[in-house]
Structure 1
Amino acid sequence: MVKRIAVFSDVHGNVHAFEAMLADAKKQGIDDSWFVGDLLMPGPGVKTIWQIFDELNPSVVVRGNWDDLVVNGARGKMPLVKPSRVYFARLAQYVAEHTSKDLIDRLAAWPLHRVLKVGSLTFGLSHNLPDLDMGQALFPTQPTENFDQLFEREMPDVAIYAHVHHALLRYASDERVILNPGSVGEPFNGWDRLQKDTRAHYLILDIDSQGIANLNFRHVPYDRQAELDLAKQFGVPYIYLYQRTMATGRVDTHNQELVDSQNKKYGYAEEYRNYCRHLADKK
């Protein structure tokens, strides 16, 4: 008996990419799904993203660094120490204004790391490292020793992580398997011709009694102009940056100068401060 599992991550609020992934997963006849973090922001999707997520109903969920940013920003706990922090905070405010406290609490309750057994294999899932959902230690070009850290807890046979937005299959020093499903909403590659593949990326994993029977790295097309139009319709902050992402696949999250120019143009820092004051007044 083969169990077919959709492994997905890094949706980043991209409604049309997530809808395309869901439709494709249904066509592929999946039995289950696993989510490896980063559901919301900077895209326009909040309620619709939750609806798709609940329809998939993943049996395994781990929390990503952007999930933390949503929670901290929505709760008014984002220090505005640099332009990118204003960016995260204002986007989290947008999420909070389009969802309920219960869903923010749901994000906050997700674990950083999960271990489970399917068939004869044990799988360890984390957004990045088992105890750290941020950083560049597991960027695809990093040395194998960095990836060995995925196996230091519970000794899984297969480690699955996300975060770097690259679909990936590689091996640890002892040849245990490392997988990354890539990003549904923001696939990334530093090589320009490969970056042109901006389809929704995810992984279908077939597991049978002997182990991994098949790996299918799926790339699903969707309407990026329709996604940008939706962002404009919903009044998403930083629409200029989202337009750039929809056009090229590149992101400007840490382009401090460009983000700062948008913060100043639209007064995003003051909007977030007002939001925090409103939260304080409600207590």
Structure 2
Amino acid sequence: MRIAVVSDIHGNLAALDAVLLDIERRGVDRVVDLGDLLSGPLQPRETADRLIALGWPTIAGNHERQVLTDPPERMGESDRFAAAQIRPDQREWMRGLPTTLRLNDEVLLVHGTARSDLECFIETVDAGGMRAATPDEAAERAGDSDARVILCGHTHVPRSLRLADGRLIVNPGSVGLQAYTGEHPYPHRVEVGTPQARYAIVERNGDGEWNAQLIAVDYDWNAAAELALRNGRPDWARALATGRV
């Protein structure tokens, strides 16, 4: 079984289309989406239409929750832009997305962790910023789930970690945004360091063991950066063009 895993598209339709072409070239059994679909100063409405047509197993991220439930005055700029752009039918589609999903007996989809869409899984944010989580921290977040592979997003950092009991935790990175600053639970920055779109393929081999391949895909990130700039977001323009804040 080969599963392509996408996450954190953030309305970057050009990056999503490039990833779609790469997935088609590689051949997979199915594609899953880990949320944070539309928020950002790019193409939320067009991205929603593309994702609805694709019909992938998809979960909601924290930005879907925020767009649907936060009043505009409490929203960040990215959520406010998306909320103003999307149509009522797209909102209804977002409302129907689960927060976690068991794809089959072995694969679990979460955005942050199963208990919170804001909690990092294989990274930890503390007073010093963001760092790689320890195996013990990741194991505590996995809890007693019997899934053999847990797919998570949220941090935009492409990484995988195998726990001592053999469970594999995989973050595919972000399709749409390779750098940002965050405030929860402490101020921190994330910088992947290159502008390529990211996704992953997870595969179960003949012995039943799951492995992950982390993939970077070229696309026209300069055009995406120019769109962000036209929409009043120089911070996004730099992140899109460089992978740094």
Q: Common fold, TM-score beyond 0.5? A: yes
Greater share of helix residues, 1 or 2? 1
The corresponding residue for 1:68 is 65
Conservation of the 8 A alpha-carbon contact between 1:115 and 1:154: no
What SS is found at the alignment partner of 1:211?
coil
The corresponding residue for 2:222 is 225
Change (3 A) 1:132 1:78: farther
The corresponding residue for 1:36 is 34
Query: Shift of the alpha carbon at 1:216?
Result: 2.5
Query: Shift of the alpha carbon at 1:92?
Result: 3.1
CA distance in 1, matches of 2:120, 2:106: 25
1:89-117 Cα shifts (integer Å, max 9, x gaps): x4334323322122113213322211232
Conservation of the 8 A alpha-carbon contact between 2:172 and 2:200: yes
The corresponding residue for 2:110 is 126
What SS is found at the alignment partner of 1:61?
coil
What percentage of aligned pairs have identical amino acids? 26
Residue segments in structure 1 that go unaligned for 5+ positions in a row: 252-283
Q: 2:51 aligns with which of 45, 48, 53?
A: 53
Output the TM-score relative to the length of structure 1. 0.71
Conservation of the 8 A alpha-carbon contact between 2:107 and 2:151: yes
Q: 1:108 aligns with which of 55, 74, 95?
A: 95
Conservation of the 8 A alpha-carbon contact between 1:8 and 1:181: yes
Conservation of the 8 A alpha-carbon contact between 1:18 and 1:52: no
CA distance in 2, matches of 1:9, 1:248: 19
The structure having more radius of gyration, on CA atoms, is 1
The corresponding residue for 1:246 is 240
Conservation of the 8 A alpha-carbon contact between 2:121 and 2:152: no
Query: Shift of the alpha carbon at 1:189?
Result: 10
Conservation of the 8 A alpha-carbon contact between 1:145 and 1:173: no
1:208-256 Cα shifts (integer Å, max 9, x gaps): 5533565322100111121123345xx53x42222222233234xxxxx
CA distance in 1, matches of 2:171, 2:202: 11
- RMSD of aligned alpha carbons: 2.6
Aligned length: 229
Conservation of the 8 A alpha-carbon contact between 2:179 and 2:239: no
Is structure 2 residue 132 aligned with structure 1 residue 141? Answer: yes
